[in-house]
Each structure stands twice: as C-alpha cells, then as structure tokens.
Amino acid sequence: MSALTWIASTSLAAWLWLLLCQARFWRTDIRLPPRELPERWPAVAVVVPARDEAEVLPMSLPGLLAQEYPGRAEIFLVDDGSADGTGALARRLAAEQQPDGLPLTVTSPGEPEPGWTGKLWALRHGMALARERTGAEFLLLTDADIAHAPGSLRDLVSAATGARLDLLSQMARLRADSAWERLIVPAFVYFFAQLYPFGRVNRPASRTAAAAGGCVLLHTGAAERARVPESIRHAVIDDVTLARAVKRAGGRIWLGLADGVESVRPYDRLPQLWRMVARSAYAQLGNNPLVLLGAVAGLTLVYLVPPLTALAGSPVGAAAWALMALTYVPMLRYYRQPPWRALALPVTAALYLLMTIDSALRHHRGRGASWKGRTYA
C-alpha cells in the first residue's frame, strides 16, 4: 500500500470514528424540549451584559422589551464601561415601548476586579441586582447582540420547567449574509457541535457539558449551588465553563439550536471574524503548546488530508471528503445555504487552523484573549 493510501486511510478511519462514536454531532433537529404550560409562571430576570453595543441594540433590545411572557419579567442591562452611549440608548429604546414593554433597569458595575473577565463581572453585578429586586426563579443571560422573537422567553421557560432543567441554552442562529459569513459562520457552529455534541451534552449521565453564551436560561437555585459566577470568574470561554459548573453541581443541562433567537451582529469582513475566533481559540486548548500541536495535526488529518489525497488520485481520500461533506450539509441547510458549499469545508477548516495558530501567537506575545479594549492573560 502506498504512503498516499496509508495517509488517506487514516483520515477515512478518523471520519468513520466521528460518524460512529461522536453522538451524531451533525444533527440539526435538536430544538427546544417539549413545552408544558406551568401552573404558575415563575418570575424571570433578563440580564444583558453590554459593552459598546450601540450599533446592535436597536435591532436586539426592542425584541426583549416586547416579550409576551405571562409571568413577571424584568430586564437588567449592565453597561460595562461603554464609551458609545449604550446605556442612554437602552433607556431611550425602553421609553419608546412604554407602557407595554418589560421594565428595564440600566446599571454599571465599574471596572472588573482582578481575576474577573469583563463579561462575568457584568453578569455578577446584574445577577445580584436581579436577585435583590425581583427574587426571580430563573435568570435569562443573553448577549446584547441577540434578538429574541416575541414568544422566546415564554418558550424557554415552559421548556425548562417541563423538562425540569437547571440550565437551558440555545445556540443562536448567527448572521450569515456576507460572503465571509457564509463561508465561516455555519462551520463555526458545526465545529462546536463536533467538539460538544448536543445529544451527549443533554444526557445527564454524560460528563460532556457546554452552553451557548448568547442565550442561557439558568435556574437561580442551580446558580447558587454551582457558586456562579464567582466560581468561574476567570473564564474566557464563559459559556462552556458555566455549563460545566452547573453539571458538576448536579444540575440538568440542555443545549440545542435555536428558532427565533438570532444574532444581529454583522461580520462583513474577514478580520472581524478572525478576531472573533482567535480571541478564544487558544484558551479552548488550555493555552497548552502540546495540545495546540495535537489540534493542528488533527485538523490537518481530518479536514485537509481528504481533499489533498483525493485530488492526488486517491479514492480513499475522495471517500473521506464525501463523508465530511455529507455531515456538513445539515448545518448548511439550517443556515439556508446550498449543499454544494459543503465541498469548501476544507478551505474553512484551513482558515480556522490559521486562526488558532494566530490565537496562540497572540497569547505568547502577551496579548492573550483581547476583546473590546481588554486583554486577559
């Protein structure tokens, strides 16, 4: 057997393992659990950390204010040191929807204390204020760029109470309008699901835990048992770390794809998407050079070897490429993209590989995970 065939066969074996042993990670039909109308709708506090979000708030905040929720709900927007008038804009948008909109409180926590990331510092402040003022049974932690359909909060709460969940998270449908977004965004969710298969996350007996930080419904009792957010205050990848903390504390968690929960943040150019991925890619690998080498080798074997060997004439490489493309088609359909784009997944994977290497270089140059003027070691 030639070296080319050996290499292609190793890649094909890796894809067969992913197909058989990675909890059908390609599925896109994992949506909200069956909803049951509770006898009493619990009080909910919506906590929105926001730092320089004036660009997206007009597209996201009105939907939150207009939630059709049968119980008591209140919004706490935490203005995390914004310099673009985020807080004033939020107050104006809320005033325009009164008296019918949900109550909105805009607050500011000041600069983070040492050892805290900015988002978790903002969440700490917002969650404490929400507990003090509302005694809410559930907290909806949602990002400032996430737009919710009018029935989103009602559906989230009814699904969580019906399935007796402590944490319910939906992966918001990210924007995929520009050419770069269409190339990179569906693959971002695909890779996440491959790393944290939703079906495995949702099994109580499984140790796999993950969440999508843009939309997390969290039971306040579970947050207290897991000592959230204090126990995860240093986390750069806060959503996955939050889910792990809740699951380790005995909580039941659920993660799936969203209908009616969408990100409105534009990423029209490659540098914007590059920064989004590179700011946390190396942290995902534990900032470990050896793990980075393994990740580079794995990405090369799984995503780059199949097309390279196929183009060199290997039918085994072509089979591996076909399996790769077939698993990607469901995600492309979820993002309303044509199936033929699945053949370009190796190109996207090569970009992610470069972003990951760049993330490591940034870390070792002392720039760490940088986002909106803050850098974390």
Give me the pLDDT at residue 377, please: 59
* 185-208 pLDDT tens trace: 999 999 999 999 999 999 999 999
Q: How far apart are CA 316 and CA 2, in angstroms?
A: 12
* 258-302 pLDDT tens trace: 999 999 999 999 999 999 898 889 888 888 999 999 999 999 999
* 109-160 pLDDT tens trace: 989 998 899 899 999 999 999 998 988 999 999 999 999 999 999 999 999 9
Q: What is the mean pLDDT of residues 68-77?
A: 96
44-263 under CATH 3.40.630.30, yes or no: no
Structural tokens at position 271: 């540098």
Please give the helix or strand (H or E) that residue 200 lies within, else none: helix 198-201
Give the range among 46-55, 72-81, 271-280, 323-332 with minimum mean pLDDT.
Answer: 271-280
Q: Count Cβ atoms below 10 Å from residue 108 Cβ, excluding itself.
A: 16
Mean pLDDT rounded to a whole number for the chain: 94
Q: Is the pLDDT of residue 366 over 80?
A: no
Q: How far apart are CA 144 and CA 292, in angstroms?
A: 32
Give me the pLDDT at residue 350, please: 97
Domain boundary assignment for the chain = 3-26+270-364, 44-263
Q: The dihedral of CA 228, 168, 214, 38: what is its sign? A: negative
Q: Is the pLDDT of residue 357 over 90?
A: yes
Reduced 3-state DSSP string for 32-66? CCCCCCCCCCCCEEEEEEECCCCCCHHHHHHHHHC
Give the range among 5-9, 11-15, 277-281 with minimum mean pLDDT.
Answer: 277-281
* 336-351 pLDDT tens trace: 999 999 999 999 999 9
Burial zone of 312 (CB within 10 Å; 0-12 exposed, 13-18 middle, 19+ buried): exposed
* Percentage, residues of the chain above pLDDT 90: 84
Q: How far apart are CA 158 and CA 68, in angstroms?
A: 13
Strands 104-107 and 167-173, sheet pairing:
unpaired
Q: Is the pLDDT of residue 376 over 80?
A: no
Give me the pLDDT at residue 59, please: 96
Give me the pLDDT at residue 214, please: 93
List of long-range contacts for 336-343, beta carbons under 8 Å, 24+ apart: 336/176, 337/176, 337/182, 337/186, 341/182, 341/183, 341/186
